[in-house]
């Protein structure tokens, strides 16, 4: 689509939410709940985290008041879009016993939101994560039917990130702070001289929704100001990750003593994988009610940090925390490239923020690079 920039005000943002709801979408956007910004249903601008920023660092997360009324003046929500399309607990089937035998139900869509989803305020890193899941769960030989059903018809209202968190490094992974693709509409929030949003169109259906709003043509100064928001965010990234040759660094570091140092701090608590927007490992749990007449099979999130994750007959392949962290980090930043043709990390920094031991993947990558320098071939 040709870059089409228009401007809406706060009333226009409310109109956008109403326009999406009237088209049958369940609008999901940032909310403040239990002291954190989370993704939840939105029915009005009053549901958005107005005047709130999130202070983030390694093992640190606190909401703080802003000195303005920004709706999107925070970094990415605690969880990305993964739980919306790939829930942590997915009922696969339910069996009921009767006097004559068993009946089997496949509860299609049970637990799903009513109607297709409209993501409001989606950040570039999370759109990149959704694109990764589309590749992993939809485009391979066997697609995930549950994911496909929830993902179908999604409308995306993305937002240029103007307030990266202290653990963000999406500029290093090339996934932000400005979304490059995967959206129907892109908003950039401007606060001066008046509160407004520069809106750009990404798809024909995005243009159709924008046409019903009270929008005005953006002035060149509006477009320049919107570009400046992304440029300033790049300069304010809380972390940086050197990705040059990183795949070779990790493959050369299989026996590095750095893994022992990390393991001495890592609790193997699985927190990093639970908040990661790209992790997709699962397990299957079977359960029955007390009567024994109803049985269910659920697919639940799992983690390579769990000792049982790599269990086969005779024991676990990765009995030590050292090998589990090595597996996770090497897969994210190296093997994922061989497997799917991309990084498995989008630079959102959630694994750093929510690690109770304050382990920082960017710091560990730098340490591995330093220790592996003599082992990694240099480009000629």
pLDDT tens string 231-254: 999 999 999 999 999 999 999 999
Per-residue pLDDT at 143: 93
Three-state DSSP class for residue 205: helix
Whether a cis peptide bond, with omega within 30° of 0, leads into 177 is: yes
Phi, then psi, of 197 in degrees rounded to 5: -130, 125
Report percent pLDDT > 90 for the chain: 86
Q: What long-range pairs does 84-88 form, CB within 8 A, spacing at least 24?
A: 84/28, 84/39, 84/113, 84/117, 84/119, 84/150, 85/117, 85/130, 85/133, 85/147, 85/150, 85/151, 85/154, 86/133, 86/137, 86/144, 86/147, 86/150, 86/280, 87/111, 87/150, 88/300, 88/301
Taking the alpha carbons of 208, 210, 214, 219 in that order, is the dihedral positive or negative? Answer: negative
How far is 124 from 176, CA to CA, in rounded Å?
5
Per-residue pLDDT at 102: 87
| For range 211-230, the mean pLDDT | 95
Report percent pLDDT > 70 for the chain: 96
Per-residue pLDDT at 152: 93
Per-residue pLDDT at 98: 87
Per-residue pLDDT at 108: 67
Per-residue pLDDT at 377: 61
Residue closest to 37 by CA, chosen among 116, 153, 123, 118: 123
Asked if pLDDT for residue 342 goes beyond 70, the answer is yes
pLDDT in tens, 19-48: 999 999 999 999 999 999 999 999 999 999
Per-residue pLDDT at 1: 38
- Among the listed ranges 36-50, 105-119, 202-216, which one has the minimum average pLDDT value? 105-119
pLDDT in tens, 363-379: 999 999 999 876 666 55
How far is 300 from 30, CA to CA, in rounded Å?
24
| For range 91-107, the mean pLDDT | 88
More confident residue, 155 or 319: 155
How far is 342 from 129, CA to CA, in rounded Å?
11
Per-residue pLDDT at 374: 67
Sequence-distant (6+) residues with CB within 8 A of 257 are 371
Q: What long-range pairs does 89-92 form, CB within 8 A, spacing at least 24?
A: 89/298, 89/299, 89/300, 89/301, 90/146, 90/298, 90/299, 90/300, 91/296, 91/297, 91/298, 92/284, 92/296, 92/297, 92/298, 92/299
Per-residue pLDDT at 112: 66
Asked if pLDDT for residue 345 goes beyond 90, the answer is yes
| For range 322-339, the mean pLDDT | 95
Tell me if 348 sits within 8 A of 277, measured CB to CB: yes
Asked if pLDDT for residue 307 goes beyond 90, the answer is no
Per-residue pLDDT at 2: 41
Residue closest to 278 by CA, chosen among 249, 259, 306, 304: 304
Residue closest to 74 by CA, chosen among 186, 171, 164, 11: 164
What is the chain's percent helix, strand, coil content, to nearest 5? 35, 25, 40
CA distance readout (Å), 173 to 125, 191, 244: 9, 28, 10
| DSSP H/E element including 156 | strand 155-159
Between β-strands 89-98 and 101-105, what pairing exists: parallel, antiparallel or unpaired?
A: antiparallel
Per-residue pLDDT at 3: 54
pLDDT in tens, 70-92: 999 999 899 999 999 999 999 99
Per-residue pLDDT at 109: 63
Summary mean pLDDT of the chain: 93
Tell me if 47 sits within 8 A of 85, measured CB to CB: no
Length reported for the chain: 380
How far is 225 from 102, CA to CA, in rounded Å?
64
Sequence-distant (6+) residues with CB within 8 A of 67 are none
Cα 84-150-130 angle, rounded to 5 deg: 60
């Amino acid at each position: 689509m040709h870059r089409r920039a228009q401007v809406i005000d706060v009333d226009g943002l409310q109109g956008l939410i109403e326009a999406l709801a009237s088209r049958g979408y369940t609008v999901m956007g940032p909310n403040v709940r239990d002291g954190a910004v989370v993704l939840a249903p939105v029915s009005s601008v009053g549901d958005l985290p107005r005047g709130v920023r999130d202070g983030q660092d390694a093992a640190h997360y606190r909401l703080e008041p802003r000195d303005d009324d920004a709706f999107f003046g925070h970094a990415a929500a605690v969880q990305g879009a993964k739980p919306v399309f790939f829930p942590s607990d997915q009922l696969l089937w339910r069996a009921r016993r009767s006097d004559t035998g068993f009946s089997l139900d496949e509860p299609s869509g049970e637990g799903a939101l009513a109607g297709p989803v409209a993501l409001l305020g989606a950040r570039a890193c999370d759109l990149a994560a959704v694109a990764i899941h589309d590749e992993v769960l939809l485009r391979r030989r066997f697609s995930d039917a549950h994911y496909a059903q929830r993902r179908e018809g999604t409308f995306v209202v993305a937002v240029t990130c103007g307030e990266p968190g202290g653990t963000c490094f999406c500029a290093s992974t090339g996934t932000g702070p400005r979304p490059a693709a995967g959206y129907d509409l892109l908003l950039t929030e401007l606060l001066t001289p008046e509160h407004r949003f520069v809106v750009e169109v990404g798809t024909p259906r995005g243009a159709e929704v924008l046409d019903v709003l009270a929008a005005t043509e953006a002035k060149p100064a509006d477009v320049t100001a919107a570009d400046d928001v992304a440029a300033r965010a790049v300069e304010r990234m809380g972390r940086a990750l050197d990705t040059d040759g990183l795949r070779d660094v990790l493959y050369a570091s299989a026996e590095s003593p750095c893994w022992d140092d990390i393991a001495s701090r890592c609790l193997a608590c699985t927190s990093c994988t639970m908040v990661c927007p790209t992790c997709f490992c699962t397990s299957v749990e079977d359960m029955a009610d007390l009567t024994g007449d109803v049985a269910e099979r659920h697919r639940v999130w799992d983690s390579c940090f769990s000792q049982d994750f790599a269990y086969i007959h005779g024991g676990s392949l990765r009995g030590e925390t050292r090998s589990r962290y090595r597996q996770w980090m090497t897969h994210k930043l190296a093997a994922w490239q061989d497997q799917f043709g991309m990084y498995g990390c989008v630079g959102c920094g959630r694994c750093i923020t929510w690690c109770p031991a304050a382990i920082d993947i960017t710091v560990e990558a730098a340490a591995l690079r330093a220790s592996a320098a003599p082992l990694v071939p240099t480009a000629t």
